[in-house]
Amino acid sequence: MNRAAPQTMPESRRHGSARVLIVDDHKTNLLKMSLAVKNLGHEAICKQDGPSALEELSRGNIDIVLLDIVMPDMSGFDVLQSMKSNANLRDIPVIVISSLDDDVDSVVRGIELGAEDFLPKDFNPVLLRARLGAGIEKKRLRDLELEYLRQVDRLTKAAAVLEAGNFNPSKLGIQEVSGRGDALGKLARVFLSMAQQVYERERAFRARIATLRGGFILLAVGALYGLLTPLSRLASFSDAHPWALSFWMNLLGSATLIGIALCRNRLRPVARKDWPYLIALGAIGSLAEVLLFWATANLPASTVAMILVMDNFLVFAFASTTGFETADFRRLFGVFLGVIAVGIIVLSGQRVSGGGNWVWYLAALAVPAVYAFYYVLTASRLPAYLDLFATWGIVMAISAVITFPIVWLTGDFARTGDFVSDPQLLFVVLIMAGIVTVGGVLTVILTKSTGSVFASQCSYAITFFGIAWSVLLLRESISLWNWVGLALMVLGLAIVGPRQEAELEPPAEFMDDASRA
């Protein structure tokens, strides 16, 4: 029995060499057959009963079976029957062993149950070689056929998956099929290259649409927020206090947005873990507003508007250091152009006004820094279960709550009457509240769909519109250098571009198939 013990796994199945499972309850027969099989250059695996033979078969590396019929407990017929009812074992050829002289019936029954052939007990080497060879060859052809059918199936499935959605064809696991040298391989290669072309085309097309849509929203946000700068300067003419202005704006805005969310029945309770995030957003938002009011009270609105564009550089620095977006040379260059533009504007402004007022310049520079942090925060983790209006309404309500004690302590509520008695101031506050409300929602949409770097480009637009509105509403004048700076900003916007679209992953069950293949 020692010599017939199961062999090691085949490292290489040489041509003509097969793994032969021999099943016989009698040790001497088993030894005889294993020696005979090895003599023909095959590998012999010996089992003395049906159950252990089936267990060996289920490991899936047997090429052919030599099966004795007469065995106690589980006969050869039983083994044959359970093999034929198992889809994985059905195609393994079985040769039944029988003494033909008195057992014709059992040979016939074995063949009827699906045995490939039979071998008499007193077989000779020539007969054994012929029968084994025929069975093994049949198994090899069947294996090739099954492999072919499996690859055809993969190709068909891949085609169906591609038709259902826009997936990267190179991820569909049909490279193996396309490596075949025959007609099927050629078909797979043609299919793959065509699918790849269609995929790339659609991807580029969608990226263009995203840029275009992002561009429109960006201009709208710019036009709205740009109006904020000259309006805050107008408000400061009426001697309004920054904290009070921020409080009223946020109160009106949050009332409107939460009202909308309620009407749409979209107001959900906020999860406890999201509160710190929303509170941070609210605090940063009101801080940015107050800083803006302070700066515009003391500097020309157009200059403040120009400085706002600084946040591009800062957003990019935040987002690329935290890994939210990739920093490549092209995008860095775009941001660099924007910074140069701001430098030109600030320096030319200093030259005209003869310097001074650096504190207010610093306050103005702090605004974009705060905005930059704000954009990155918005892009990173807005709670998905919250409606856009509800989110923004809650954030503005938090801003109002935060500014309330400050307004109370500074005694600015006493001057609330000013708002009512000064129709111009009331009008300005109402418009500013509307701007912050609509602009905030648009900013979230923009940041979510294009990424924080692209969204921060809206500060270019805000700057541009801020200058335009300042000229229109406040009759401020713009120097030639300022125009040069603006041109550079527009160029920077074009160079940075929106965030790369993520690739869709094919359906999970298909990928399971592919990894099994």
Residue number with CB closer to other proteins (110 or 285): 110
Shortest reach from residue 10's CB to other proteins, in Å = 20
Q: Which residue type is seen at 127?
A: L
CB-CB neighbours of 437 under 10 Å: 24
Residue number with CB closer to other proteins (122 or 163): 122
CB-based contact 431:191 (threshold 8 Å): no
The CA angle 235-457-225, to the nearest 5 degrees, is 20
Chain length of the chain = 517
Residue number with CB closer to other proteins (38 or 84): 38
CB-based contact 507:158 (threshold 8 Å): no
Shortest reach from residue 28's CB to other proteins, in Å = 4
Angle between helix 423-450 and 358-380 (nearest 10): 50
Shortest reach from residue 33's CB to other proteins, in Å = 9
Question: Rounded to whole angstroms, how far apart are CA atoms 232 and 433?
Answer: 11
CB-based contact 436:249 (threshold 8 Å): yes
Shortest reach from residue 36's CB to other proteins, in Å = 5
φ and ψ at residue 410, rounded to 5 degrees? -80, -5
Residue number with CB closer to other proteins (101 or 328): 101
Shortest reach from residue 169's CB to other proteins, in Å = 54
Structure tokens at 224: 């709205």
Structure tokens at 371: 């905005």
Q: With helix as H, strand as E and coil as C, how does 335-357 read?
A: HHHHHHHHHHHHHHHHHHHCCCC
Buried b (16+ CB within 10 A) or exposed e, 89-128: beebbbbbbbeeeebeebbebbeebebbbbbeeebeeeeb
CB-based contact 49:21 (threshold 8 Å): no
Shortest reach from residue 77's CB to other proteins, in Å = 14
In what helix (H) or strand (E) does residue 79 lie, and over which residues does it extend? helix 76-84
Shortest reach from residue 42's CB to other proteins, in Å = 12
Edge-to-edge, what's the strand order for the sheet holding 94-98? Answer: 43-47, 19-23, 64-68, 94-98, 117-120
Question: Which residues make up the interface to other proteins (CB under 8 A)?
Answer: 1, 3, 25-29, 31-32, 35-36, 38-39, 70, 72, 99, 102, 121-125, 128
Residue number with CB closer to other proteins (70 or 426): 70
Q: Is 410 exposed, middle or buried (0-12, 13-18, 19+ CB in 10 A)?
A: middle
Residue number with CB closer to other proteins (35 or 160): 35
Question: Rounded to whole angstroms, how far apart are CA atoms 270 and 308?
Answer: 32
Shortest reach from residue 29's CB to other proteins, in Å = 6
Shortest reach from residue 106's CB to other proteins, in Å = 11
DSSP-assigned letter for residue 324: S
Residue number with CB closer to other proteins (38 or 213): 38
Residue number with CB closer to other proteins (27 or 201): 27
Measuring CA to CA, how many Å separate 198 from each of 177, 369, 511? 20, 43, 21
Structure tokens at 418: 């000013």
Shortest reach from residue 125's CB to other proteins, in Å = 5
Residue number with CB closer to other proteins (68 or 412): 68
Shortest reach from residue 54's CB to other proteins, in Å = 21
Residue number with CB closer to other proteins (31 or 345): 31
Shortest reach from residue 122's CB to other proteins, in Å = 6
Residue number with CB closer to other proteins (3 or 186): 3
Residue number with CB closer to other proteins (11 or 101): 101
Residue with tokens 């909308």: 260
Close Cβ partners of 3 (under 8 Å, ≥ 6 residues apart): 31, 34, 35
